[in-house]
Structure 1
Amino acid sequence: MDTKDNNTPDYAAFLVAARQLLGPRGLTQDAELIEPWLTDWRGVYTGAALAMASPGTVEEVAALVRLCAAHGVSLVPQGGNSGMSGGATPDTSGHQIILSLRRMHAIRTIDAEARQVTCEAGVILQNLHEAVAEQGLRFPLTLGGKGSATIGGLISTNAGGTQVLRHGTMRAQVLGLEAILADGSRFDALVPLKKDNRGFDLKQVLIGSEGTLGIITAATLQLAPAPAGRRVLWVGVASLQMARAFLLHCDAMAGMALEGFEIIPAYSLAAVLHHLPGSRAPLDTDHTWHVLVELVAGTETMAGLQDLAEQVLATAFEAGLIENATIAASESQAEAFWLLRESISAAERARGPAVQHDVSVAVEQMPAFIDTVAPRVESAFPGTKVIAYGHLGDGNVHLHVLSPAGSVQGEWQKTTGKKISALIYDCVAEWGGSISAEHGIGQAKLAELARLTDPVRLGMMRAVKHALDPGNILNPGKLVPLAPDQAKP
């Protein structure tokens, strides 16, 4: 290792070598260019960086990682910087490299017959959607940040989104993977094999590892046929228990046609209507909870999709499961329904300070979990408001706690907000759930992961990290809590 002494890397020597490797386009120390990438999307974490590297090829990524390993310089992989847990933000030392993969945005191949696409890590999700749509296909994962989120980031955090109910998380979409490991070697498993029994499924180890085990540079992804059409339903229900019963009803009647099932509380809908210009409530009646349902059909079943949607609602009314409902009359109205759901986070931010929790429990327990935890938190912290929304069908909700009026942004989250989060995560642990359902651990939940996770699981995570990244140069301080006897990097 090239260092000034036994502990301090020679950063000047590293930068000289990195400039020679990447050139002016691939490495910058320009503060104005780097500044937008130093703060996470939520504005909670701000770090500093020695430089920002933007390699254009997998070979350059490999060479850069080898250079970092030789000099003892750590790096922080970053895609669209749209993460929710501070996992792509450097620390405050100013000694880490931001590794941006946004220049690596090629869609290498689309195999329409096999329904597969191979693309680089910097491809933006929305661009991928548009590219495969031209082939009559779709990539069945979407989320509100699709205009900035990159494929590498989505894989690194095992992203979910609104179509998990039918298609699963990012893990289910990844057929093959290419990544650079901490020593600069290239893990090449891009070719998808239906059956491969050569031991561990190593690509699955890298998926969801938040850049702590390897740098994902490309992936082969599963595609699905583009639906011939869809029907989007907005439904009012009296309680979460009724929403759950309605979900089971939809699943029984619609089967594979059921693609999305999202719950929205009355409070969140009102906040969005206030925040979003020109928006309007889908129903002319008030309801404690709202449900957004999407049904899709292929060419062979498209003719019966409208009848199916109407039958689902009619039989639900007869069974007393729902209070009111409407079916979007056009594609533009369907998009307007979904925009209401996707605007909840923005409306919440406009309202004032809040702490957000992305949690999961067993699917069948989610209504009882929310009904139990929400009053417990509001009682323990007077003046707060708990809202829960999201993916009821897969046991994952966004459980947010809004601060009392007059709370100071930033200050409240760091004081009372931390106590609230600890209580919520304690509740999640009591119910046997997960403190991170789809947004990752990053640095936001690192301490809570160490506090609440089974020591055996923690030990396995640390062992894998040490085996693949013994120098701890890949995104240190994220995802994997250090053992008590380990020195910080």
Structure 2
Amino acid sequence: MADDMAGQVGDAEQLRARLGPDLVLTGEAVLPYCRDWHGDVQGQALAVLRPRSTSEAQDCMRAAAALKLRVVPQGGNTGLVLGALPEDGAAEVVISLERMTRIRSLDADNFSAVVEAGAVLEQVMAAAEAEGLFFPLTLGAQGSCRIGGNVSTNAGGVNVLRYGMTRELVLGLEVVLPDGQLFEGLSLLRKDNRGIDLKQLFIGAEGTLGLVTAVALKLLPRPEQVATALVALDGLEEVIALYRQARRDCCDLMSAFEFMPPLAIELACEAMPDLRPPLDAAHPAYALIEISGSGLVDIDDLMTRFLEGALMSGLARDGVVAQSRAQAAGLWAIREGMNLGQAMRGRHLRTDVSVPLSRLATFVAEAEAAVAAELPGCTCVSYGHVGDGNVHLNVLPDYGLGPDMIVPQILKAKKIVNEVLDRHAGSISAEHGIGRLKKPEFEARLPPVQRELLTRIKTALDPAGMMNPGCQMDHPAEAAHHAPLAEN
């Protein structure tokens, strides 16, 4: 034990000697970087390295490699699958991009921007808006998540229906490789067919192949008109039917189509006491719809005519259309506040799954019934993004149970949901990634050829298994070392 402690102190001192004290945090200063966003899990790290530039990020990587330390890249640490948490306080360092926040360029004529990986998503959105442009990635954590993390997890959000996942918004990347070399791929070209697109290897890799330090982003014209409505329906089947009609009537002008149960409003009001239910009566299901556009299209008229048709046909039972930005924000507050309400009720299962849209309603019904049958005291909260088949089927354990009973319920609920998901040819991760939390389920479902290809890519780019150990898949060089990070 004494030798281990001496080794840790020695490595930390060598990091300071190589990089300077300003770049290296140790001791209690490391703790906030080792805790997940919800505070459920506490990891450990030898040190946190905080480069201010790409060259300093290269220095950090080279120093870690020289000392045979493993590296956990970290952005805003807002992920939900433990993908940015260190585990080994003796042999792992966090490289935090929080100081690399510059917007290097913004080209309005090319509808593009180059930003450093530590730039907060909301900061990037604001910079684009100041130039009359729009960066469409929209997440609940946009005030604290960072672009590098968005890229590394291929983040989704509420606008995927129209604009796609983060992958579709990336023009180019700058990445520090495990040996300190720099992949300089910050292209601003829309069309570039020169062979394999190497940047795609790093998008969604969750820091397992390299450290993203800068991103070239695709921007769009800023929508000048936005219409938002909350619609009440008789159930999820009717929500799907309304979505089909919306795709026909609103076409590609529809930017969001979310579904929520009545419990969503209750949870949001618990978390936000000033929030008031927008409709007088409760209904079995709700759809939160947004359409947006610019130019000569009359968005408000389009929304009005679409909803009139839905009400006249009997598909929609009631609804409200926001008459101002403040009212629109109030409707979206329900969608965001329900997450806070769930957190206030304590530890619970948070899922992020997807199924073919044609199976969405059936999957939710079967999964909720299966949970109710085996865990009758638990409460299901199913909501998500209708247009891309993404469901957050969360399960709240029996109220008032102690931690020793809550965790078994969460694990059993996860098994139940995943078994139903498999029957519907779904994915265990629609937008949050794999991280460490979903790794066992991910590896259990990997076809042999896919596993072999992923292993070859990992060993080719990171032969020593240095990058983000224990995330997504075990590297052959780290399998014997790694012990899974446990939830507290």
* Separation in structure 1 between the aligned mates of residue 478 and residue 235 of structure 2, nearest angstrom: 49
Return the letter of the residue paired with 1:77.
P
User: Alpha-carbon deviation of 1:263?
Assistant: 0.6
The answer on whether the counterparts of 2:103 and 2:115 sit within 8 Å (CA) in structure 1 is yes
**Mapping of residues 14-93 of structure 1, within 5 Å:** 14-31=11-28, 33-93=29-89
User: Alpha-carbon deviation of 1:483?
Assistant: 6.2
Specify whether residues 27 and 483 from structure 1 end up closer, same or farther in structure 2 by C-alpha distance, changes over 3 A only. closer
Return the letter of the residue paired with 1:26.
L
Residue 276 (structure 1) aligned to one of 272, 275, 282: 272
Return the letter of the residue paired with 2:316.
I
User: Alpha-carbon deviation of 1:60?
Assistant: 1.1
Specify whether residues 486 and 75 from structure 1 end up closer, same or farther in structure 2 by C-alpha distance, changes over 3 A only. closer
**Mapping of residues 381-420 of structure 1, within 5 Å:** 381-408=375-402, 410-420=403-413
Residue 230 (structure 2) aligned to one of 221, 230, 234: 234
User: Alpha-carbon deviation of 1:285?
Assistant: 2.0
* Structure 1 unaligned regions, length at least 5: none
- Indicate whether 1:289 and 2:285 are aligned: yes
| Secondary structure class of the residue paired with 1:176 | strand
* Separation in structure 2 between the aligned mates of residue 355 and residue 171 of structure 1, nearest angstrom: 27
* Separation in structure 1 between the aligned mates of residue 478 and residue 181 of structure 2, nearest angstrom: 29
The answer on whether the counterparts of 1:361 and 1:434 sit within 8 Å (CA) in structure 2 is yes
Seq. identity, %: 36
Paired residue for 2:486? none
Paired residue for 1:448? 441
The answer on whether the counterparts of 2:112 and 2:188 sit within 8 Å (CA) in structure 1 is no
Paired residue for 2:157? 161
- How many pairs does the alignment contain? 481
**Mapping of residues 190-201 of structure 1, within 5 Å:** 190-201=186-197
**Mapping of residues 307-322 of structure 1, within 5 Å:** 307-322=301-316
Paired residue for 1:204? 200
Question: What is the TM-score when the length of structure 2 is the normalising length?
Answer: 0.95
The answer on whether the counterparts of 2:267 and 2:337 sit within 8 Å (CA) in structure 1 is no
Specify whether residues 128 and 165 from structure 1 end up closer, same or farther in structure 2 by C-alpha distance, changes over 3 A only. same
Residue 338 (structure 1) aligned to one of 313, 324, 332: 332
| Secondary structure class of the residue paired with 1:272 | helix
Specify whether residues 11 and 274 from structure 1 end up closer, same or farther in structure 2 by C-alpha distance, changes over 3 A only. closer
- Indicate whether 1:426 and 2:419 are aligned: yes
CA distances 1:71-125 after superposition (whole Å, capped 9, x unpaired)? 2100111111100001111104443111100000000000001110100000001
Residue 354 (structure 1) aligned to one of 342, 348, 359: 348
User: Alpha-carbon deviation of 1:318?
Assistant: 2.0
Return the letter of the residue paired with 1:358.
D
| Secondary structure class of the residue paired with 2:32 | helix
* Separation in structure 1 between the aligned mates of residue 136 and residue 18 of structure 2, nearest angstrom: 37
- What RMSD over aligned residues (CA atoms) do the two structures have, in Å? 2.0
Paired residue for 2:256? 260
* Separation in structure 2 between the aligned mates of residue 485 and residue 256 of structure 1, nearest angstrom: 46
User: Alpha-carbon deviation of 1:193?
Assistant: 2.7
User: Alpha-carbon deviation of 1:480?
Assistant: 1.4
CA distances 1:162-215 after superposition (whole Å, capped 9, x unpaired)? 000000000000010000111111111101333333332111110000000010
Return the letter of the residue paired with 2:129.
A
| Secondary structure class of the residue paired with 1:357 | coil
CA distances 1:131-163 after superposition (whole Å, capped 9, x unpaired)? 111100111011110110000000000000000
The answer on whether the counterparts of 1:48 and 1:93 sit within 8 Å (CA) in structure 2 is yes
CA distances 1:305-351 after superposition (whole Å, capped 9, x unpaired)? 22111100011112221110110111100011111111111100112
Question: What is the TM-score when the length of structure 1 is the normalising length?
Answer: 0.94
Residue 187 (structure 1) aligned to one of 183, 188, 212: 183
* Separation in structure 1 between the aligned mates of residue 480 and residue 55 of structure 2, nearest angstrom: 32
Paired residue for 2:104? 108
* Structure 2 unaligned regions, length at least 5: 483-488
Specify whether residues 481 and 380 from structure 1 end up closer, same or farther in structure 2 by C-alpha distance, changes over 3 A only. farther
* Separation in structure 2 between the aligned mates of residue 485 and residue 148 of structure 1, nearest angstrom: 31
* Separation in structure 2 between the aligned mates of residue 68 and residue 260 of structure 1, nearest angstrom: 43
The answer on whether the counterparts of 1:69 and 1:471 sit within 8 Å (CA) in structure 2 is no
